[in-house]
Structure 1
């Protein structure tokens, strides 16, 4: 038998992995969400460099296979070595089981995981030691299981990458990392969104068939276990390739530099993208981004926030009339794009109530979401500061006692609550809001009779609004104004909701249905609320948390950040504000309408004031954008700065103030003033958080 055949388990699994990766790229290449066409050179780059990257990633990922195979032998079961090794395993098991091992210092499930792993290893070693006649069969089935597991993980990863692309239009990013943390909600979402039983049945069937053929062509490794010298050769070959892979993988990642984001994403290896997302979940602005001297950054910021001085944003806000302590209800709507509404060009009539309510409200027609996740939207309306690099403040450890909208309302004598139809533990909402002085009303606050329908994300919006009405009726009797922030859940995959409410059945899992049911629930809420004694003295603020999708051809596609927002106050005349603005400006503008006097640290501003200078912030977890003067400036890690001229791509029949589509044309001559202004906003926000200057 040649040495080449000793490598059969590696190269057979590698060929299968390459085949799945190639097939996945083909599928994603032609996927409807891939809103791009590719040149021949771009296509060659995607598939050729993608394959090379896959090769090196597989080498690294097969480290566990190498470790397993290299320790297969018969000699370790001979006396006295077998008994010594078994004794070591038993001692390790008892050590971990004692509850005083080093693993217990890390807490969580780690000690249990280690205990189970060592327990299984001890049991299997004992079987192989004491049952020599069964050793060959046991070893074969263990070998088969390892091959099966690798095949399953390869297929599972392919499916996961497909569904992630289907949802976000990218390979894995830090959202995928978060999904590992909130497994209950995510697994539940998958269970309710997709035909799980058929998919996993097919998955295990295909895994079994592929394992059979790989096993058939690889079992000579255990039928004729390599000698010590052959294992040394295998190890030298593997470790050499492993070392080369550690250099090659990040080098190849640097070639993902096309102006077309889809080219970069399709070329990228999903597993390595996941690793990068895990590593970059926290980004230090001052380490990864272009900076200015801190003093200069705050001087530039002062041009936008005139009343500040020194290296902070503290300033006095003075109302132009007597303060009005009306009740305030802030409703952030899950995944609600501007283009769902009629005014922005939608002709499906899926938002009839909000279309009509907007005509009775103060509309903000040119408002952009700060990010593309719920926690970014919550951060924007609660803390009113630009989206800083890495994870949202909502999910950081240092997320308490911040200067917030809730803090202002508390100063003014309001009851302050955060209401959410799901489990507020999700996305760290409970920790964030309770740590900033909000009382929490979530699914755990509901009695069984208050829940008529729920899915993995929580109770339906109707149930949440009915609960909110009860809470506000109680608050009204306390002779104190209230501020209640309600976060909706129904407009989220799997898009299930009660049947017989709208003309789209709730069990067909339609996004249009989710949008329409969200609109229906709001109509029911306002119908009931309008009959309550507190209604006429209440201001309603309605805004999306983010758009329904973030996928686009460019780094920061503007249409994927445009969201509707309006303020409705019963009896007030409708108005329209078409100034360019950010989600972080909404609540400071409300405070201006209520004529509040307060000491502010907000980066957000009252856009109705004469000194407001239009601009908007849009960002991912690593790309930080500023829209101003019809130019988009983007700051990225490694001190990268890009600028794009925004050319309107008008949609026929849509009024100018509701146009949302722009072509992003690379700017030929840098607008240094806008680069510095963008740096100023994001650097000062990062500085304020880093040095705890944004506390209440």
Structure 2
């Protein structure tokens, strides 16, 4: 009995000092299960947060079961190569020890990436209405602005992310170290078999389909609510797919389908409202000569682009009482009641307002390579007509590639944060709107005194998260001070103070002003395209401008042609927007909206929406209730929508959206 007891103790000591070897795939399997638990719990938590929308979509079964399908595909992409390397290289030799180190790093960083993306997802959803996508990547290239914004407005979330990230890296490293030590490796003749099995499982799991197309977001989409569809995914998959799509983003035909180039050209020409005879160029299919309505001395132009100012914040558009100054000014000029932005980002608004370019599923042309020079802007057109052209901004003009795009396409002068001496207030995104607009007033005064006709794009930034602005300027709408609603009210205050100066200035009578938003703030909703969240204010002011409220549906791309006509600039350009001074009062209007990968064409209250790799859908829009009701597909409108959506990619890739080169005689005459 004693000998038996002694032997048992010795065996126990040996088993404690020399634990049972781990399976060759123990580390990968353990990390895969942890990640599966993280993504599933995150998906359930997000769904509970958005419970009403998930219930409306009857989406619990799709979210859970299709979500697991997406997670398995993600794990195959994430760890497939690691599993193959383990089958080939694991062992108690130099290569095996090196591979063990690589595997530990791989597993730890893979776990950290998934955890980090999931904990950052709620903030992204709150801002943009769906899981992380291409915008997540685009913001990463501006760490100074983004980190200062997050630190000022989301300290708790930033600290939480740091703590969780540190804990994940530490725990991941310790866990991977434990499971990659004392590994039981197979005999050499089993390794090729294991490698083949790994390749088969990885390919089949990553594709998650035996059909022609592998797994993609549209394959698991089941609802008309984009957010609910995105909950099926995990944020790692959502982001990776968006990055992959960015490589193909210049081709809208890969997203929506194809049409012959000539068919696209015929559609956009017809949709422009111009006669077929107006299009005289074969090299530049959208180029037309446009006669101005105003025949007097050409006026100056100032566009005040307001950051994130949706109609829901504007009292005179039925929104919250946050814009008393714009409301008062709206009774003094041409006020658009149904103006719609083309997108949800500032660069999309800049694209529409300054170039009149139609939106695409690609990034805005402000950030694309082929449009950095010789791409049409109204600055280039006005520069050819003898105007001084400038961009005035309170922040750093390199953000979103604005500086490069503007300098390459007709803007002669850029004023940004570094050009303000002793500003009254500096926030995360630059100087305050007061500093911006008062500097603009000084610039306009100086240019007018010198007798220079001028065009200036003035871009505000105070109404941007973290919503910082000077104290004691406004009566706060709510507490605490730095909120979206208070920032809107301050931005409106700055506009009001500017126009008090401008209306007394000598340049007022010779200048046309457009006050317009780039987009709404935090656009989201339960529809394929949340139409109401694209509605923005637009107001044309200036000496001799008659007061009127315009109920027609109009688009941001209509602003530039209308302004040129009202300024007295008759010239050729490739823009397809309508000159609203020459449209009948009973014209129902049209607008186009890009919401992530979905594209909407609205004509009056008739809407058709294109989605990636899915059939078009038609709706009726109720302006009062702000709802879309399904109807039978309007095939004609669907074809028009497809033609407009494809035009942008074709025009960009073929260099069609530009002005004809000037002859030496033309350059000298101007």
TM-score (norm 2): 0.85
Task: Find 1:479's aligned residue among 451, 469, 492.
Answer: 451
Structure 1 unaligned regions, length at least 5: 83-123, 129-138, 651-660
Tell whether 2:531 aligns with 1:558. yes
Deviation at 1:186, TM superposition (A): 2.4
Q: CA–CA distance in 1 between the matches of 2:357 and 2:411? A: 19
The residue that corresponds to 2:274 in the other structure is 305
Q: CA–CA distance in 2 between the matches of 1:405 and 1:379? A: 11
Deviation at 1:542, TM superposition (A): 0.5
The residue that corresponds to 1:102 in the other structure is none
Single out whichever of 551-560 and 637-646 deviates more from structure 2.
Answer: 637-646
Single out whichever of 530-539 and 333-342 deviates more from structure 2.
Answer: 530-539
Structure 2 unaligned regions, length at least 5: 1-18, 660-670
The residue that corresponds to 2:595 in the other structure is 620
The residue that corresponds to 2:461 in the other structure is 489
The residue that corresponds to 1:177 in the other structure is 137
Q: CA–CA distance in 2 between the matches of 1:197 and 1:317? A: 52
Deviation at 1:649, TM superposition (A): 4.2
Deviation at 1:305, TM superposition (A): 1.8
The residue that corresponds to 1:366 in the other structure is 338
Relative to structure 1, is the Cα distance of residues 507 and 496 closer, same or farther in structure 2, using a 3 angstrom cutoff? farther
The residue that corresponds to 2:652 in the other structure is 689
> What does 1:288-303 align with in structure 2 at a 5 Å threshold?
288-303=255-270
Task: Find 1:277's aligned residue among 216, 233, 242.
Answer: 242
The residue that corresponds to 2:62 in the other structure is 45
Deviation at 1:594, TM superposition (A): 2.6
Q: CA–CA distance in 2 between the matches of 1:151 and 1:572? A: 61
Judge conservation of contact 2:512–2:567 (CA < 8 Å) in 1: no
Relative to structure 1, is the Cα distance of residues 418 and 52 closer, same or farther in structure 2, using a 3 angstrom cutoff? same
The residue that corresponds to 1:91 in the other structure is none
The residue that corresponds to 1:109 in the other structure is none
Deviation at 1:665, TM superposition (A): 2.1
The residue that corresponds to 1:265 in the other structure is 230
The residue that corresponds to 2:662 in the other structure is none
Tell whether 2:216 aligns with 1:199. no
Q: CA–CA distance in 2 between the matches of 1:289 and 1:559? A: 23
> What does 1:388-399 align with in structure 2 at a 5 Å threshold?
388-399=360-371
TM-score (norm 1): 0.82
Q: CA–CA distance in 1 between the matches of 2:302 and 2:83? A: 59
SS in 2 for 1:579: strand
Relative to structure 1, is the Cα distance of residues 167 and 684 closer, same or farther in structure 2, using a 3 angstrom cutoff? closer
Deviation at 1:403, TM superposition (A): 2.5
Tell whether 2:28 aligns with 1:28. no
CA deviation vs aligned residue, 1:57-93 (integer Å, no higher than 9, x gap): 123212465478665544228xxxx9xxxxxxxxxxx
Relative to structure 1, is the Cα distance of residues 624 and 145 closer, same or farther in structure 2, using a 3 angstrom cutoff? closer
Relative to structure 1, is the Cα distance of residues 168 and 621 closer, same or farther in structure 2, using a 3 angstrom cutoff? closer
Judge conservation of contact 1:581–1:614 (CA < 8 Å) in 2: yes
Q: How many residues align?
A: 621
The residue that corresponds to 2:125 in the other structure is 165
CA deviation vs aligned residue, 1:252-311 (integer Å, no higher than 9, x gap): 641224333333111123222212211222231344433443334433444322233565
Task: Find 1:470's aligned residue among 442, 445, 451.
Answer: 442
The residue that corresponds to 2:146 in the other structure is 186
Judge conservation of contact 2:346–2:518 (CA < 8 Å) in 1: yes
SS in 2 for 1:57: helix
Q: CA–CA distance in 2 between the matches of 1:24 and 1:631? A: 38
Deviation at 1:567, TM superposition (A): 0.6
Relative to structure 1, is the Cα distance of residues 648 and 4 closer, same or farther in structure 2, using a 3 angstrom cutoff? farther
Task: Find 2:37's aligned residue among 19, 33, 46.
Answer: 19
Q: CA–CA distance in 1 between the matches of 2:52 and 2:474? A: 31
Deviation at 1:647, TM superposition (A): 3.1
SS in 2 for 1:554: coil
Relative to structure 1, is the Cα distance of residues 201 and 423 closer, same or farther in structure 2, using a 3 angstrom cutoff? closer
SS in 2 for 1:366: strand
Relative to structure 1, is the Cα distance of residues 547 and 321 closer, same or farther in structure 2, using a 3 angstrom cutoff? closer
Judge conservation of contact 1:369–1:582 (CA < 8 Å) in 2: yes
Judge conservation of contact 2:27–2:179 (CA < 8 Å) in 1: no
SS in 2 for 1:313: coil
The residue that corresponds to 1:405 in the other structure is 378
Judge conservation of contact 1:319–1:596 (CA < 8 Å) in 2: yes
Judge conservation of contact 1:579–1:607 (CA < 8 Å) in 2: no
Relative to structure 1, is the Cα distance of residues 294 and 68 closer, same or farther in structure 2, using a 3 angstrom cutoff? closer
> What does 1:242-641 align with in structure 2 at a 5 Å threshold?
242-248=202-208, 250-251=214-215, 253=217, 254-281=219-246, 282-303=249-270, 304-306=273-275, 307-309=278-280, 312-347=285-320, 349-399=321-371, 400-447=373-420, 449-504=421-476, 508-570=481-543, 572-610=545-583, 614-638=589-613, 640-641=615-616
